[in-house]
């Protein structure tokens, strides 16, 4: 077991930031940690990493109790916080050597060189951090989180503010790290979750509202209506199409292309194919709208 969170509550005065949160994360998983702004994601991450204490409950990382005075926890975890605090006047390699000096005897020159290569910082290693682009600064932040080869990575908004190319590069780094480590990733980018995560935790108002495998999360929202878009080689008679499918709503999108909506549980697609054959029509394309992760997120946190 990499991370075990049991009944964690966090109070700031009378405000309850976390309310009896519990979950387990096995080794080798990349887990998305989702929630609206102010839901308690960063607070939970800071408690796991030992930056702040919980008001009640417990957190264990690799069987070790987390706490603000527990240096052993800090050896187990690599942490990239949302604001990625760096020293802008230090050179990249100099900064990584500085961070590595905190971990006595475990980070030598070879390890620093390997991390610089792994995170794509070879061409920037002799530059001052303050002169780097946001994408390269994120790489430096990820490098410092990986420098001591931790078993667990905690990444808070690792790709915020990056351009599309930089996002793909950082995602690839996270995906590679996730092959050997446990990764807990906070993000607002749903495509990121779809691309790299195995499991999804959703938190809202300090409570855990979903804990599912990525493939199962869509069952949390059941569509009340099905929507099918179909394109024929020519327009059918509207009344005939409506009568044959029993659609509640029928809209002509463009020549030959129609959108059908129905509250019935019966899949419209086989019915449409049967209608097309009976009326000598060719179906050029057809698609059924499915629940996506953004819909699930909105439904659970609205």
Asked whether residue 131 is domain-assigned, the answer is: yes
How many residues appear in the chain? 302
Question: Same domain, yes or no, for 146 and 186?
Answer: yes
* Residue 233: C-alpha distances to residues 155, 267, 288 (Å): 50, 22, 19
Backbone phi and psi for residue 180, each to the nearest 5 degrees, phi listed first: -120, -10
Whether residues 200 and 231 fall in one domain: no
Place of tokens 């992760």: 293
Cα separation, 189 vs 223, in Å, equals 22
Q: How high is the pLDDT of residue 223?
A: 60
Give the Cα separation of 195 and 183 in Å (integer). 14
Asked whether residue 114 falls in the same domain as residue 133, the answer is yes
Share of the chain above pLDDT 90, in %: 52
Given a cut of 70, whether residue 193 has pLDDT beyond it is: yes
Which residues span the domain enclosing 246?
A: 226-294
Residue 76 belongs to some domain of the structure: yes
Query: Are 9 and 156 members of one domain?
Result: yes
Q: Residue 292 is encoded by which pair of tokens?
A: 């996506």
Beta-ladder partners of 286: 230
What φ, ψ does residue 183 adopt, rounded to 5°? -125, 125
Q: Would you say 139 and 165 are in contact if contact means Cβ atoms under 8 Å apart?
A: no
What is the tens place of the pLDDT at every residue in 251-297? Answer: 999 999 999 988 877 889 999 999 999 999 999 999 987 667 887 88
Q: DSSP for 229-269?
A: EEEESS---HHHHHHHHT-SEEEEEETTEEEEEE-SSS-HH
Sheet containing 249-254, strands listed edge to edge, beginning at the edge strand earlier in sequence:
249-254, 257-262, 226-232, 283-288
Please check whether residue 283 lies inside any domain of the structure: yes
**C-alpha closest to that of 207 among 41, 12, 15:** 41
Helix-then-strand count for the chain, H and E: 10, 14
Q: Is the pLDDT of residue 129 over 80?
A: yes
Q: Is residue 299 part of a domain?
A: no
End-to-end alpha-carbon separation of the chain, Å?
32
Do 211 and 245 have their domain in common? no
Residues 204 and 265 in one domain: no
Sequence-distant (6+) residues with CB within 8 A of 17 are: 10, 11, 40, 43, 206
- In this structure, what CATH number is given to the domain that contains residue 33? 3.40.50.300
Domain count, the chain: 2
- Do 206 and 234 sit in the same domain of this protein? no
78 within some domain: yes
Statement: residue 222 has pLDDT above 70 = no
pLDDT at 300 over 90: no
Q: In angstroms, rounded to a whole number, what is the distance separating the alpha carbons of residues 245 and 282?
A: 16
Per-residue pLDDT, averaged over 185-209, amounts to: 91
Rounded Cα distance between 122 and 79, Å, is 22
The mean per-residue pLDDT over the stretch 174-199 comes to: 88
At 258, which CATH number?
3.30.70.100
User: Is residue 301 one of the residues assigned to a domain?
Assistant: no
Least confident of 85-99, 119-133, 173-187, 199-213: 173-187
- pLDDT > 80? residue 68: no
Residues 133-141 have a mean pLDDT of 89
pTM: 0.76
The average pLDDT across 124-142 equals 92
């Amino acid at each position: 077991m990499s991370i075990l969170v049991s009944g964690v509550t966090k109070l700031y005065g009378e405000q309850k930031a976390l309310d009896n949160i519990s979950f387990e994360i096995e080794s080798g998983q990349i887990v998305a940690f989702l929630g609206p702004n102010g839901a308690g994601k960063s607070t939970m991450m800071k408690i796991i990493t030992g930056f702040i204490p919980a008001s009640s409950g417990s957190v264990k990382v690799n069987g070790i109790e987390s706490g603000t005075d527990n240096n052993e926890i800090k050896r187990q975890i690599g942490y990239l916080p949302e604001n990625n605090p760096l020293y802008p006047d230090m050179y990249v390699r100099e900064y990584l050597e500085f961070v590595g000096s905190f971990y006595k005897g475990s980070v030598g020159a070879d390890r620093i060189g390997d991390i610089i290569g792994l995170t794509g910082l070879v061409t920037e290693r002799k530059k001052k951090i303050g002169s780097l682009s946001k994408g390269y600064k994120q790489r430096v932040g990820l490098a410092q989180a990986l420098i001591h080869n931790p078993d667990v990575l905690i990444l808070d908004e690792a790709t915020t503010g990056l351009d599309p190319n930089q996002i793909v590069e950082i995602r690839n780094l996270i995906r590679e790290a996730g092959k050997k480590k446990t990764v807990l990733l906070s993000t607002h980018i749903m495509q990121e979750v779809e691309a790299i995560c195995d499991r999804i935790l959703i938190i809202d108002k300090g409570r855990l509202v979903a804990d599912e495998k990525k493939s199962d999360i869509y069952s949390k929202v059941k569509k009340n209506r099905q929507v099918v878009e179909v394109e024929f080689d020519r327009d059918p008679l509207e009344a005939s199409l409506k009568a044959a499918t029993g659609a509640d709503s029928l809209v002509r999108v463009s020549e030959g292309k129609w959108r059908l909506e129905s509250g019935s549980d019966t899949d419209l697609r086989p019915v449409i194919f049967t209608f097309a054959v009976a009326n000598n029509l060719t179906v050029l394309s057809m698609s059924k709208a499915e629940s996506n992760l953004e819909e699930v997120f909105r439904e659970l946190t609205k």
